[in-house]
Amino acid sequence: MSQDIFLKIGDLILFPRYNAYHHVSTKGNFDVTVGVGLKLPVGSYTDSLKQIEPFSGSIYYLRKPPAVQPSTGAQDFIFYALVFKGFAKQKFRIFTNMLYIRKGWNSLGEKSGDYASAGLFLSKSFLKNAGAVLELKGEHIEHLKLNNDLLSMGFYNYDTYATGGNRLMLVPQLSYSFKSLNVFASTEIPLYQFVNGTQIASQYLFSAGISYKFFPFKKQIASGTYYCEMHPDVTSDKPAKCPKCGMDLIQKK
C-alpha cells in the first residue's frame, strides 16, 4: 500500500509595517502602527479532479471550486492599522487593530470577496511571564464575484451567492513567555454569525501555538543601563518597569 504526499504552495505575502508614532513614559506607552502589503499568487488555482464517464468510460477533468484551491490566483492588497496604549503600573494594555484585504481578479475571471476585520483587545499580565487577552472581533467577507463573459463557474455549478458573510466573536487567549519563546492558546466564541446561502464551516475554533522571536541586529546596551529582557528596545538609566509587559527592568552588568 502506498500513499502519495503532495506539498501545496499557496501565496507569498509581503507585508511591511511602520511604527508611525511611539511614545514611552513612566506611566506607559502609546503606539500607532500602519502597514501596506501585497499578496502574490505562487501556487496553483486550477487544480482539477479526474472523472470517469460511467457509460463510455471516457476520462475528463473537473476543476475544483475556488474555495478549495491552494491559491486564488490573484494579487491582493493588504491595509493594516494598530493603535496601542499600555499602562505600566497596572500591567494592563488596550489596543485595536483594523485589517482590510482588497482582493484582485485572476485570469479565469474570478474575484474572491474583499475581507475586512476590526478587533478591540484588553490585555493583562500576571505571574511575571503570563498574560491573558480578551478580544472582541468583527469580520465581513463579501461575495465571490465572476466575470460573466468567461462563465468559468459553469464547469462545477458553484453558487457565488453562497459565499461571504458577517461574524462577531469573543476571543479569549492565554499565553506564557520565557525570554524569546512564547506559548499561547485561544478559542473563538461566536456572538453573531450570518453566512450567505449554504456554507460548510466550523462554528467553534480552538488554536494553540509556539512562537520564537529573534533579532538579527541586537541593540547595544551600555553597562549600568536598565533594560527589559522581553523587550530589549526598552531601556532606562534608573530602575523602572517595562511599559510593554510590566516586568521590572534589569541592570546590565
Is residue 96 within 8 A of residue 120, CB to CB? The reply is yes
> What is the C-alpha separation between 23 and 243, in angstroms, rounded?
10
> What is the C-alpha separation between 128 and 133, in angstroms, rounded?
15
Closest CA to 70 of 99, 103, 100, 48: 48
List, in order of start, the domains of the chain with CATH numbers.
11-214 (2.40.128), 216-253 (no CATH)
pTM given for the model: 0.76
Residue 1: the pLDDT is 39
> What pLDDT, in 10s, does the model give residues 61-106?
888 878 788 898 999 999 999 999 988 778 889 999 999 999 999 9
Q: What is the mean pLDDT of residues 44-70?
A: 83
On the CB side of 35, CA atoms within 13 Å amount to 18
pLDDT band at 40 (very low <50, low <70, confident <90, very high): very high
> What pLDDT, in 10s, does the model give residues 177-217?
887 788 999 999 999 999 888 877 777 889 999 988 766 65
